[in-house]
Structure 1
Amino acid sequence: MEPSPLTQVSRPDTFQPKIVQLYETLFREDDDEHDLSDGFWEEFFLLRPDAASLKQILSSIDSDEMLHLQAHSQQLFLRAILRMKQATAPADENALDTLTVFLDSALTKRYTNPSSDIIAVLAGLHDADAVMSDFVATLDTIIRNGRSLTLRLKAVRTTLSITAAGFQTALPSYFTHRDLFPSLMKYIQDCDDDTRVLPAFYLLGLLVNYNKFEFQNPYRLRLDDFVNDGIIQKMMASFGASCLAIRDAYVAVQEDMPEGWTLGSTLNYLSLGVLAPASRPTTPVPAPDEAKSLFAALPGPEIGVLLSTYDFANANKVFCFNLISMQPSSKGDTSPMSAFLSLTSYLFQHAHRSNRASQYTYLSLFILHILVEDQPLVKRLCSDDAKISVRLCRQRQPYLPLIRGDRNPGAVILDLMVDGINHNLRRRLDVDFYILCLGVLLRLMSYLSRAKVRIAYHWSELWRTLLSFFRFLTTYVDDVKSVYRSSTMVDLLVNLLAFALTKGENFLPDPASYDDLFYKLVETGDILAKFRDAFGLSNKSIQTLINVSSHYHTLLEDSEKGKLRSKILSPREVHTVIKQGYETLSIDAADGLDRWERFREADFKTFLKKIARAAVDDAKLLNEENKMIGLSAA
């Protein structure tokens, strides 16, 4: 029998997609042929990109090899721009997707001369200005008028990628030569989903911070007079959602809300737990070392959007008003201001875990300074008409009283400062952090005093915290005095307490609250005198505090019950003596204790440059992991 002419060919172990073959051809060293045919590029951009394979191929090429292959990388860049300009599906979208992966990888390699080497890889030194200007103009057109919102989002992501990857080079300067601000605002306005706003808002923060202290950044100027409430509110909604997502990552590590009353908890309390209904399963609590590691990795990279929020708040009062006034889209949701304050609370309790966490905590403090310094804004913050409910962090002791229900934001900010002071005490003190916290307290209290506004607040917690801070500083005086600007912090602390003592009747809710301040001061004993001697103080404020304390100690000792020493008097008896002592008390306080200088960005230039670099690194991480809200959906 003759053999059949049909023979079975063995199947290969794996099939290699055609696009991967084209990637390998493109990035294969070939000194004989630099130009690839039109047919190659036609097929290249018609095929769906394989991001994982392209990234793998590019990651195997080091910076020197990439420079050696620049003829082909330049062709890729030029051909992709051409396809995007032609605006024909699917080639234009495939070109954008390919460029995003290529830029993420090619621009983050360690080049000897980053600016010139990156330009060589993309466009060549001779044609750089023309090619890069054409590229930026093409992206600008797509962001503003692309044929679909998904395509426009991808153009935003590509711009974010190249800005972040080239932040320390001259590359982002091409985005300052051409103003993308109107297109980004048009894109945000057209967004049908708040999550798609985040990449554009994040990008804006990077563009504003590119060399902003070295030249007049055009994006920074754009923020000053932007008054479109609709677009601002879309940014705000996106910012609020991001704050909640970042905050919830902390909660996922350690649930910190006390359990409310339930039938099960009551039966357990009465030793009748066997009758309790089955409870829902709870998230396992991580071991201390594991929790420490998980907390150290937070906040997530989306936190970089805080930089955009700060820059807008620092430049634009309309933005600030929307931040403190915008209501949630539906009942039961969280407002942007509530989400921001809640996240800030968690940042404060974990700021010590990394330099990165500390830097973003500073950004939150800068924003709070800006808000409480503006008269109309702080008036709104302290108004009962602006009441909000805010979940505050309770992951570390000491705990503040748990307040359920709505409060005005001013009271919440007071709580944040108390928590910030209590949870960042260490011998090598972060003095600038404490100067900022005390500064926010001074600005809030000076407004309350001038306007004679009395807000509901557990003031005794604030006095206890400030006086505990006095004790801490006295104990570790040698460590603290060696830190730059510690004398500024000490003066601010003394003046703040002296101001509360002399002007408290203007803003404390009732006489009992004012009495409590004096009680706490008397209770401090000789700490104030030790504090004065330790830091070599001779100003009027510290003497005022010591004189008041001495006045009441004398009254207590001279009274009939005081003969037994004041420390065995009951709190009620001490309060009685305090009330009686007002008649003979003379407070000679210094003038201008409530004066303060407005927040000046230039004073924090070094901090802000570090924070900008942190936001750039987070933008890179978001691009690498494709985690940016709204991008994976695209």
Structure 2
Amino acid sequence: MSTLDQTPPTSNAQTQSSSTLPPNPSRTLKWYVTIDRILSPTGEPIATSEEERERFYLDLFCLKVDSAVLATKLNEITVEDLLKIYQSNLSDLFQYAVKCLKPSDDDEMDEIRLPNVITTLSIICREILKKKDFQNFSIDIINLFAGSLDNSDQLFSELVAGIDRILADFNQSLLIRHKTLQLALSIVSAINQGSINAYFLRRDLFSTLAGIVSDPRTVSMTFDGVLLLGLLANFRRFESRNPYLVRMEDYVDEKAMERIITLSVLALGDVRSGYMEAQEEKTTSLLGNVMGALSSIKPSNPTPPSEPFRTHPLMPTCILLPLFDFLRANTTFLNVLMADDEFWAEYLSFASYLFSHASASKRSRAYARLVLVTLIVLIEEGGLVLSQRERQVTVKFCRQRQPQLPLISDQPRPPISSVLDLTILFLRHNLRRELDIESYLDSLRLVHSVLVNLQAHQVRLDYDWTGLWRALVCVGSLVGGRGGELKQFPNIDKVAQQILDVFSFAVIWSETLFMDTDGVAGLYYEILRASHTIRQLLKIAGLCPTEPLTNTIPTIGIISSSAGAGTIEGGKNLEMILKSFESLMKSKSRWEAEEVIGLVKEHLGSIEFIDTCSLEARSRRADPYRL
């Protein structure tokens, strides 16, 4: 007689089970009674002999699983009880399920059991791995699933081998293969950098997953397949040579790459739609844009993000991680991506919403920083392609927060112009008392990378630079005005240095970067208007001269600073601009904007800058792998 027909569990457990029974004739009471017995609060073993236990679980896996009931039961058990009361039976349930991933001599029974086995394993992994109260997560999970460390190697090797075998089996149904892929995803994502994921490196699944991505018949599995590749490529990538990264470097299937990019476009489009549904957008009038520009001059606190945005961006945003890994590792993928205008239109549109609401949650800040670093890489690797005038993309910018970008931003333009607009959105809308130093450094590095790229390729960008300069000044005002308070934050001096670097680089290369003298004069004008902020930044960066400037080619005192030579000389150049024009403007107490710009144009060639280091295409980049 089957062990499933043995004495039912205690009345308490039976009552609890029967109260959750759905009126579903496709399931027998036997499954509910059996699960109650396995998860009995008494922790009584199922059977004493190995043969009886095996028969018990083989029979159980012939029964259809009630996912909701099993998930609820596991969710209600505390970590302490899992490890003390339920460990033995739960370990048996997991181990016998893993054994059933391997084909037996009975194909008919395998076909019946496999869907139930996959469902059972998926629920166990999802509900248990999400619990937060483990004292030693890796060791506790190994003991809970394998029974002991001694059994772990064989168990997890069989688990990964079974997953690989099912995913690669074209005779299996698409549903079973997809559920198996989702099982692997739930394990890898929850374990993160834990030792269990090492078994996915020991048995390389790259060929299997690449086959899923390239096969038109498995298009519904492509997203999960690409995501699993990205997660595995990031497992302990700094400790050893990750085999998935190595395989990414050698990947040559351009059709599959195009599919990944198309998938990314669709995913990010869904995420952007989620932002749009969270809050209605209103395009401001010309007057509203003018008022917004004026308000951006003052370092006031921006409008706080609305509560609905705390749950954004939505789940499909995770496609950004494998996308970043592929473009960093594979030149062919980078080239395919750079040529795709549809990708650029959607990616930049999505980024505008992410950047506008990056401060809404820790998760959104992490994704925003990933996009910033990704854009730095893309600008440095393919900036010429992105800055060509004939390359036009239409970006739908977020208009949910004030001040908005000018309406011209929605017109077809080279992608690099939209990248600059994105930095304005990030700089404007994420100023907080506890400044996210690393993200702001990355946004400033992105601005610097764009300028360096334009200079290197001799591209004069048709762009309204005023908004960018004022966004930089706004950040500088916050940093400079709260310098003493912000000293507790590491690298605050680097934020000041990076802002000064951007202004200095723009000054040195102004004739190359700007379309005409109006653009050059506009830069000088914004520097003069922000003279107090510039000098505060010089102090925070440790670049204050010890001797006064007295002429257009001044003698600068010794500066004690940890900044590089280029930043030091850039600081001197900015101080020269301030001193020189302040001397020229002593003749009267009040100057109109037009008068100042006219004065600047008249004396543009009168200042000789220090350029030995400023001429270098410097950009303080973070290691793009270490986010």
Q: Return the offset for 1:211.
A: 2.1
Q: How does 1:473-488 map to 2 (within 5 A)?
A: 473-488=479-494
| Residues 1:581 and 2:624 aligned together | no
Q: Return the offset for 1:358.
A: 1.4
| Residues 1:160 and 2:185 aligned together | yes
Aligned to 2:221: 196
For residue 433 of structure 1, the aligned residue among 414, 439, 461 is: 439
1:561-604 deviations in Å (ceiling 9; x for gaps): xx4x342x3x4333332222235343344533543368564x86
For residue 388 of structure 1, the aligned residue among 385, 393, 397 is: 393
Distance 1:30 1:553 in 2: 87
Alpha-carbon distance change, 586 to 48 in structure 1, aligned in 2, over 3 angstroms = same
Q: Return the offset for 1:67.
A: 0.9
Q: Return the offset for 1:511.
A: 2.4
For residue 140 of structure 1, the aligned residue among 161, 164, 168 is: 164
| Residues 1:471 and 2:477 aligned together | yes
Distance 2:522 2:271 in 1: 38
For residue 88 of structure 2, the aligned residue among 62, 65, 68 is: 68
Alpha-carbon distance change, 214 to 152 in structure 1, aligned in 2, over 3 angstroms = same
| Residues 1:547 and 2:567 aligned together | no
Q: Return the offset for 1:171.
A: 1.4
Alpha-carbon distance change, 128 to 584 in structure 1, aligned in 2, over 3 angstroms = closer
| Residues 1:500 and 2:506 aligned together | yes
Structure 1 counterpart of 2:594, one-letter code: R
| Residues 1:187 and 2:199 aligned together | no
Q: Return the offset for 1:252.
A: 1.3
1:174-193 deviations in Å (ceiling 9; x for gaps): 11110001100101111447
Q: How does 1:136-535 map to 2 (within 5 A)?
A: 136-146=160-170, 147-192=172-217, 196-258=221-283, 292-327=306-341, 335-374=342-381, 377-402=382-407, 403-533=409-539, 535=541
Q: Number of residue pairs matched?
A: 551
| Residues 1:56 and 2:72 aligned together | yes
Aligned to 1:77: 97
Alpha-carbon distance change, 134 to 551 in structure 1, aligned in 2, over 3 angstroms = same
Q: Return the offset for 1:500.
A: 0.7
Structure 2 counterpart of 1:115, one-letter code: S
Alpha-carbon distance change, 71 to 431 in structure 1, aligned in 2, over 3 angstroms = closer
Aligned to 1:267: none
Alpha-carbon distance change, 223 to 357 in structure 1, aligned in 2, over 3 angstroms = same
1:308-366 deviations in Å (ceiling 9; x for gaps): 22222222232222333224xxxxxxx23322222222222222222222112111111
Distance 2:418 2:157 in 1: 48
Q: Which runs of 5+ in 2 are unaligned?
A: 1-17, 287-302, 546-567
Aligned to 2:142: 119
SS at match of 2:447: helix
Q: Return the offset for 1:532.
A: 3.3
- After superposition, the CA RMSD in angstroms is 3.1
SS at match of 1:216: coil
Q: Return the offset for 1:227.
A: 2.3
Q: Return the offset for 1:492.
A: 1.9
Q: Return the offset for 1:73.
A: 1.5
Q: Is the 8 A contact 1:156 1:199 kept in 2?
A: yes
Structure 2 counterpart of 1:424, one-letter code: N
Q: Is the 8 A contact 1:295 1:353 kept in 2?
A: yes
Q: Return the offset for 1:93.
A: 2.7
Q: Return the offset for 1:210.
A: 1.9
Alpha-carbon distance change, 583 to 501 in structure 1, aligned in 2, over 3 angstroms = closer
Aligned to 2:14: none
1:65-92 deviations in Å (ceiling 9; x for gaps): 3313146314532453245997653432
Alpha-carbon distance change, 71 to 481 in structure 1, aligned in 2, over 3 angstroms = closer
Structure 1 counterpart of 2:327, one-letter code: A
Q: Is the 8 A contact 1:163 1:207 kept in 2?
A: yes
Alpha-carbon distance change, 544 to 79 in structure 1, aligned in 2, over 3 angstroms = closer
Q: Which runs of 5+ in 1 are unaligned?
A: 1-11, 262-287, 328-334, 609-634
Distance 1:382 1:161 in 2: 41
Name the stretch that deviates more: 352-361 or 106-115: 106-115
TM-score with structure 1 setting the length: 0.79
Q: Is the 8 A contact 2:445 2:619 kept in 1?
A: no
Q: Is the 8 A contact 1:83 1:91 kept in 2?
A: no
Q: Return the offset for 1:528.
A: 3.3
Distance 1:106 1:223 in 2: 32
Distance 1:71 1:584 in 2: 80
SS at match of 2:609: coil
TM-score with structure 2 setting the length: 0.80
Q: How does 1:85-96 map to 2 (within 5 A)?
A: 88-96=110-118
Alpha-carbon distance change, 32 to 391 in structure 1, aligned in 2, over 3 angstroms = closer
1:127-184 deviations in Å (ceiling 9; x for gaps): 4323322221221122122423322211111111122233353211111110001100
Q: Is the 8 A contact 1:477 1:534 kept in 2?
A: yes
Distance 1:86 1:217 in 2: 38
1:405-431 deviations in Å (ceiling 9; x for gaps): 322110111111122222222343222
Q: Is the 8 A contact 1:298 1:357 kept in 2?
A: yes
| Residues 1:128 and 2:152 aligned together | yes
